[in-house]
Amino acid sequence: MRQLVFATNNRHKLDEVAAKVGSQIKLLTLNDIGCDEDIPETGHTFRENAAIKSHYIYQKYKLDCFGDDSGLEVDALNGEPGVYSARYAGTHGDHEANMDKVLAKLASETKRKARFRTVISLIWNGEEHFFEGTVEGTIRHERAGAQGFGYDPIFQPDGYDITFAEMSMEEKNSISHRARAVEKLIGFLSLGH
């Protein structure tokens, strides 16, 4: 069985991806390979940040790997928070403050179209490949649901009347931006590359 390092220690992301990958590939985390460094995300796009992570792991450990970067893009905010989604309100990973900032900026806005976007950079047999997934939706006026993480309680995907945070992991995984990018990644790997 081939091993593949996912350049993350984020349990939520890992669970989402592991559910999609199944048994064809053994998925390893940064902890599994003894990497405890905090890989800096200094890129200005999701693609740049994803590539920074995968290149870091590949150059240091010489293992097949992939990194991802994702975030929320709100049309009325000119694509913000974008690559700054995790630290939009200042502190990295303060989901409540990040949601508060988005809701405050959209307080008088009627057009609330948004999307989640994920870009994956895979290094496989020494070659880099990119995969992208998006899910369109709108930003709700208030939080709903207790599942998921990040902006899930305020994001309602198109075609649904509930937020990501009101969905089961299985339901969210069937339509999420990360799931769509991972499906493309798995499709590539299953072609026998």
Catalytic residues: 69
143 is in an annotated binding site: no
187 is in an annotated binding site: no
Contact 49, 83 (CB under 8 A): yes
At position 13, the amino acid (one-letter code) is K
13 is in an annotated binding site: yes
The full DSSP string for 91-154 is: STT-HHHHHHHHHHHTTT-S--EEEEEEEEEEEETTEEEEEEEEEEEEE-SS---SSSSTTGGG
67 is in an annotated binding site: no
9 is in an annotated binding site: yes
172 is in an annotated binding site: yes
148 is in an annotated binding site: no
Give the alpha-carbon dihedral of 12, 16, 17, 23, to 10 degrees.
120
- Separation CA 3–CA 93 (nearest Å): 29
188 is in an annotated binding site: no
177 is in an annotated binding site: yes
69 is in an annotated binding site: yes
Tokens at residue 136, please?
């369109």
E strand or H helix at 184, and its extent?
helix 177-190
Binding residue numbers for Mg(2+): 69
Binding residue numbers for substrate: 8-13, 70, 149-152, 172, 177-178
Binding residue numbers: 8-13, 69-70, 149-152, 172, 177-178
